[in-house]
C-alpha cells in the first residue's frame, strides 16, 4: 500500500506478469533438479544392479563378515600383535591404517621443519644459498614422486652395506645401525614406576600453559616481561627428571645386537619405510618451501618498517609482526600439503611397504576377494583422514580470518 499526495491510500499496482509455466525460474529450477536427481539415481541404480548381478554370476561373497575371518599371510612390518593364521582381516586393515599413519606422521613433522628451513633459505640474502635452495626446490618439484620413491629405495637404501658391515649411526656407541635390512635402534623399556615420570611430564606441560597465561597477564598489567621460553624449557626438563630420580625408577634400553644373520632386540624400521619417509619428506618440503616463501613475501614491507619505527628490535619485529601475519598465508597450503602427505604415502605399494593400500587393497583383496567392501573401506579411511584434517583447517581459518574494518 502506498500513500498518495492527498493522504489517501491507493493500492500499489500489481505487475501484470502472467505466470508462464515454461519460462518461470522456479519451475525451471525444480525441473532441472528433478532431472539431475533422476539421471544420477538411474545411473546409481544401473551400476548397483549390474554389480549385484555380476557378483551373483561370479559367485563372489559379499558383506563384512570377512573382517572376522582369519588371514593366512604375514606382513614384514606391524605395530600391533598379529600372527598369520590367527589374526583376522580386520586386524590386517588396522595394521595397514597404523602403518600409513606412522609414516605420514613422521613425514609431516620432518617435511614441515625442512620446508620452513628451505623456505627461509630461499629468501636468504646470500646469493649462493638462495640459488642452491632454488635448485633443490625445482629439481624435486619437477620430477614425479613415484620415481623419487623408487630411486631412494632401489638406488640408495638397497645399496647400503650388508648386516655384517652395518653403518653405526651412533659413532661407535653401537645403539643405532643402518644396513640393507633397515634401521635398528635402541628402544626404551620402561619399568613399573615409569608412569610417575610420564605424569610429571604431563603436569609440566599443564604448568607451561598456566605460566604463559600468567606471564601474558602480568605483562599486560605491569609491562614487565617474563622469560617464558627459558622458564618453560626448564620446567619441561627439570620436573620430569626430578621425579624420575626421586621415584627410583629406571629406564632400560633394549639395544639391538647382532645375532646370527640379523639384529635382534631394539626397534627396527624396514628400508621401504625409510625410503618412503625420505622421499615424502624431501618432496613435500620442497612444496612447503614455496608456500613459506610466498607467505613471507606476502607481508608488506611497510609492516616491517612500521615495527622498526615503533622501536621493536629486528628479532622482535620478525617474531611479533612478520611471522604471525605470514602464518596466515602459510597455514592453509601447509595443511593441504599434510593431506597430500597422507595420500601420497599410498605410493608405498611400489616399494613394498605394507601400508593400507598395499596390505588391504592389494594383498588382502587378492586373497579374499570382497572387492567392493575392501576398496570402500580403504577409501573411507582416506576420506576420514582428509575430512578431519580439513576440519582442523576450517577451525584455524575461522580463528585467524583477517578482521577487516
Partner 1 sequence: MSMVKHEKTAPRDAPLSETTFIGWLQKNLFSSWINTILTIISIYIIYSVSKSLLIWGVLDAVWVAENRRECFAISKHGACWAGVLIWFDNIFYGRFPRDQIWRVNLGGLLLVLWMAPLWLPRVKDKIFIGLSTVFLYPFLAGYLFAGGDKGIFMQVMTTGAIVCLIGNTVHSILGMTSGRSLPEYLIAVLGKEKASDGNQRNTLLAILAVAYVVVYALQMGWTVMAVPWSKWGGMHLTLVISGIGITSALPGGIILALGRRSRLPVIRVLSVSFIEIFRSVPLITVLFMATTMFPLFMPEGFVLNKLVQVIIAVCLFSACYMAETVRAGLQAIPKGQYEAAHTIGLGYWGMMAFVVMPQALKHMIPNIVGSFIGLLKDTTLVSIIGLFDLLGMLRAISQDIPWRGLHHEPLIFGAALFFVICFAMSKYSRHLEVKLSAGEKH
Binding site for partner 1 (CB under 8 A): 29, 32-34, 36-37, 40, 47, 50-51, 53-55, 57, 124-129, 132, 138-139, 141-148, 150-151, 154-155, 339, 343-344, 346-347, 349-350, 357, 361-362, 365, 371-372, 375, 378-379, 382-383, 386-387
Minimum distance from CB of 106 to partner 1 (Å)?
18
Task: Supply the minimum distance, in Å, between the C-beta of residue 262 and partner 1.
Answer: 23
Distances (CA, A) of 348 to 211, 341, 356, 358, 361: 44, 12, 9, 7, 12
Smallest gap from residue 131 Cβ to partner 1 (A):
8
189 or 375: whose CB is closer to partner 1? 375
Cα(98)–Cα(348) distance, integer angstroms: 13
Placement of cell 649411526 in the chain: 169
Task: Cell numbers for 233, please give them.
Answer: 624449557
Give me the residues paired with residue 251 across strands.
Answer: 190
Nearer to partner 1, 228 or 350 (CB): 350
Q: 139 near 151, Cβ under 8 Å? A: no
In what helix (H) or strand (E) does residue 251 lie, and over which residues does it extend? strand 251-254
Residue 283 burial (10 A CB sphere; 0-12, 13-18, 19+): buried
As a whole number of angstroms, the distance between CA 104 and CA 276 comes to 10
Q: Minimum Å distance from CB 76 to partner 1?
A: 19
Of 34 and 245, CB closest to partner 1: 34
Nearer to partner 1, 268 or 377 (CB): 377
b/e per residue 386-399 (b: at least 16 CB within 10 A): beebbeebeeeeee
Q: Which C-beta is closer to partner 1: that of 55 or that of 255? A: 55
Question: What is the Cα–Cα distance from 372 to 349, expressed in whole angstroms?
Answer: 20
Cβ-based nearer residue to partner 1, 51 or 298: 51
Return the C-alpha cell found at 287: 612444496
CB of 91 to partner 1, least distance (A): 21
**Shortest separation between residue 60's beta carbon and partner 1, angstroms:** 9
For residues 28 and 213, which CB has a smaller minimum distance to partner 1 in the complex?
28
Distance CA 175, CA 257 (A): 9
The DSSP secondary-structure symbol of 190 reads E
C-alpha cell at 289: 618451501
CB of 118 to partner 1, least distance (A): 13
Per DSSP, 152 falls in state I
Which of 156, 255 has the CB closer to partner 1? 156
C-alpha of 360 from chain center: 21
- Going by C-alpha positions, the residue among 242, 401, 391 that lies closest to residue 327 is 401
Residue number with CB closer to partner 1 (132 or 258):
132
- Residue 402 CB, shortest distance to partner 1, in Å, is 17
Which residues neighbour 215 within 8 Å (Cβ) at sequence distance 6 or greater?
225, 226, 228
Residues in contact with 312: Cβ distance below 8 Å, sequence separation at least 6, in sequence order = 320, 321
Residue 360 Cβ vs partner 1, minimum distance, rounded to whole Å: 10
**Nearest Cα to 68, choosing from 97, 86, 88?**
88
In the complex with partner 1, which residue's Cβ is closer, 143 or 257? Answer: 143
Sign of the dihedral through C-alpha 348, 350, 351, 352: positive
Q: State in angstroms the smallest separation of the CB of 232 from partner 1.
A: 27
Amino acid at each position: 500500500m502506498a500513500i498518495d499526495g492527498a493522504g489517501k491510500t491507493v493500492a500499489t499496482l500489481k505487475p501484470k506478469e502472467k505466470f508462464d509455466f515454461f519460462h518461470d525460474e522456479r519451475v525451471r529450477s525444480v525441473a532441472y533438479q528433478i532431472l539431475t536427481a533422476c539421471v544420477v539415481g538411474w545411473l546409481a541404480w544401473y551400476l548397483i544392479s549390474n554389480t549385484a548381478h555380476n557378483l551373483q554370476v561370479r559367485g563372489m561373497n559379499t558383506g563384512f563378515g570377512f573382517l572376522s575371518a582369519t588371514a593366512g599371510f604375514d606382513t614384514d612390518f606391524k605395530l600391533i600383535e598379529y600372527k598369520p593364521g590367527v589374526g583376522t582381516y580386520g586386524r590386517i586393515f588396522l595394521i595397514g591404517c597404523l602403518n600409513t599413519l606412522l609414516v605420514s606422521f613422521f613425514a609431516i613433522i620432518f617435511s614441515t621443519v625442512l620446508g620452513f628451513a628451505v623456505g627461509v633459505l630461499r629468501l636468504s640474502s646470500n646469493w649462493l644459498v638462495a640459488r642452491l635452495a632454488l635448485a633443490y626446490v625445482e629439481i624435486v618439484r619437477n620430477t614425479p614422486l613415484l620415481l623419487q620413491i623408487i630411486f631412494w629405495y632401489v638406488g640408495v637404501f638397497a645399496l647400503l652395506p650388508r648386516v655384517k658391515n652395518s653403518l653405526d649411526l651412533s659413532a661407535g656407541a653401537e645403539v643405532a645401525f643402518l644396513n640393507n635390512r633397515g634401521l635398528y635402534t635402541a628402544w626404551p623399556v620402561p619399568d613399573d614406576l615409569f608412569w610417575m615420570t610420564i605424569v610429571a611430564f604431563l603436569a609440566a606441560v599443564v604448568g607451561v600453559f598456566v605460566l604463559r597465561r600468567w606471564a601474558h597477564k602480568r605483562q599486560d598489567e605491569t609491562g614487565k616481561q617474563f622469560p617464558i621460553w627459558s622458564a618453560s624449557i626448564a620446567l619441561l626438563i627439570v620436573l620430569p627428571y626430578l621425579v624420575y630420580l626421586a621415584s627410583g625408577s629406571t629406564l632400560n634400553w633394549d639395544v639391538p645386537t647382532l645375532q646370527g644373520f640379523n639384529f635382534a632386540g631394539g626397534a627396527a624400521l624396514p628400508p621401504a619405510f625409510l625410503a618412503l619417509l625420505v622421499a615424502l619428506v624431501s618432496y613435500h618440503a620442497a612444496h612447503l618451501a614455496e608456500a613459506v616463501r610466498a607467505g613471507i613475501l606476502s607481508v608488506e614491507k611497510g609492516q616491517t618498517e612500521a615495527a622498526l619505527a615503533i622501536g621493536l628490535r629486528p628479532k622482535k619485529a620478525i617474531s611479533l609482526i612478520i611471522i604471525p601475519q605470514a602464518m596466515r598465508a602459510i597455514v592453509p597450503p601447509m595443511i593441504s600439503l599434510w593431506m597430500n602427505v597422507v595420500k601420497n604415502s599410498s605410493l608405498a605399494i611400489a616399494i613394498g611397504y605394507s601400508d593400507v593400500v598395499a596390505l588391504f587393497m592389494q594383498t588382502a583383496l587378492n586373497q579374499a576377494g570382497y572387492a567392493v567392501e575392501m576398496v570402500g573401506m580403504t577409501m573411507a579411511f582416506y576420506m576420514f583422514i582428509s575430512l578431519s584434517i580439513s576440519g582442523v583447517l576450517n577451525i584455524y581459518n575461522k580463528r585467524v580470518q583477517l578482521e577487516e574494518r
